[in-house]
């Protein structure tokens, strides 16, 4: 059951646009305090300002989640602002397009670094904070069904990264349960019967609502 999140603190990665931005806005609308992360500082600033203008609490934190030192900066900036951390939403991702035969190694590495290694870094760092605080917490990963349930044309690296996150999240959930930290994965599906891949993606507001419900139940 969804409820108000007064006093709760969340980090949302990749929150400068799309699903991440929708999640950040939804959490803030439920009274959570939100660290809006994006690799692009202008996008992060814009979303944080939108939240503030609507009466919510948010800070913008520029960081590349594929870089562990920048992940540390993101977590510490959040704690410095509000003194705690209750929820991590891993929504940052890149999606290079190429056939396997023509794919550049840099695109493969960048995709795995952001989409999979970034989830590892942020989950590890936030898990430590949540464990040390004795407050527990929750981690929500937002992934695509590509590589989990279905293939996706010209997105081999992306499919690999999503399958990696799914496997990691299962073990993360098992291990972190002992610390009072729940781990959830939302698989973003596609609607059938539409020619456009973007228009077939499950709407961002629906994903944001799922995150709110999951976290409300986990922290309630």
| Residue 15: C-alpha distances to residues 23, 47, 52 (Å) | 8, 8, 15
Q: Which residues contact 143 (CB under 8 A, 6 or more apart)?
A: 162, 165, 166, 185, 186, 187, 188
User: What is the pLDDT, as a whole number, of residue 63?
Assistant: 98
Q: What is the dihedral of CA 6, 12, 15, 18, to 10 degrees?
A: -90
User: Using CA atoms, how far apart are residues 20 and 36, in angstroms rounded to an integer?
Assistant: 9
Residue 170 three-state SS: helix
pLDDT tens sequence across 33-50: 999 999 999 999 999 999
Q: What is the pLDDT of residue 192?
A: 37
Q: Write the pLDDT tens digit of every residue in 20-32.
A: 999 999 999 999 9
Measure the CA–CA gap between 1 and 17, rounded to whole angstroms: 26
Decide: 5 and 220 in contact? Cβ < 8 Å. Answer: no
Domain ranges (residues) in the chain: 9-215
What is the full DSSP assignment across 190-201?
A: B-SS-S-HHHHB
Sheet arrangement for strand 57-62 = 57-62, 33-38, 9-12, 87-90, 137-144, 181-188
Of the candidates 69, 51, 70, the one whose C-alpha atom is nearest the C-alpha of residue 60 is: 51
Look at residue 220 and tell me whether its pLDDT is greater than 80.
no
d(CA 14, CA 71): 12
Cβ atoms of 138 and 116 within 8 Å: the answer is no
User: In this model, does residue 186 exceed pLDDT 50?
Assistant: yes
Task: List pLDDT tens digits, range 78-117.
Answer: 999 999 999 999 999 999 999 999 999 999 999 999 999 9
Contact of 181 with 138, CB cutoff 8 Å: yes
Count the helix, strand and coil residues of the chain and give each as a percent rounded to the nearest 5: 50, 20, 30
Measured over the CA atoms of residue 106, residue 47, residue 209 and residue 212, the dihedral's sign is positive
Domain covering 9-215 assigned CATH 3.30.450.20 in the classification: no
Pair type for strands 9-12 and 87-90: parallel
137-172 pLDDT, tens digit per residue, is 999 999 999 878 888 999 999 999 999 999 999 999
């Amino acid at each position: 059951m969804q409820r108000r999140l007064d006093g709760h603190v969340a980090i949302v990665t990749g929150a400068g646009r799309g699903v991440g931005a929708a999640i950040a806005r939804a959490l803030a609308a439920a009274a959570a305090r939100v660290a809006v992360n994006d690799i692009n500082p202008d996008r992060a600033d814009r979303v944080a300002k939108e939240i503030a203008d609507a009466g919510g609490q948010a800070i913008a934190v520029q960081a590349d989640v594929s870089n562990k030192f920048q992940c540390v900066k993101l977590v510490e900036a959040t704690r410095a602002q509000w003194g705690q951390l209750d929820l991590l939403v891993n929504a940052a991702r890149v999606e290079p397009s190429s056939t396997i035969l023509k794919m550049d190694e840099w695109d493969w590495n960048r995709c795995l670094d952001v989409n999979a290694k970034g989830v590892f870094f942020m989950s590890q760092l936030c898990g430590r904070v949540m464990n040390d605080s004795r407050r527990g917490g929750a981690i929500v990963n937002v992934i695509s069904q590509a590589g989990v349930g279905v293939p996706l044309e010209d997105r081999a690296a992306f499919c690999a990264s999503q399958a990696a996150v799914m496997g990691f999240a299962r073990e993360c959930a098992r291990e972190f349960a002992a610390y009072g930290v729940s781990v959830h994965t939302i698989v973003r599906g596609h609607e059938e019967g539409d020619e456009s891949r973007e228009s077939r993606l499950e709407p961002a507001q629906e994903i944001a609502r799922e995150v709110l419900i999951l976290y409300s139940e986990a922290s309630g």
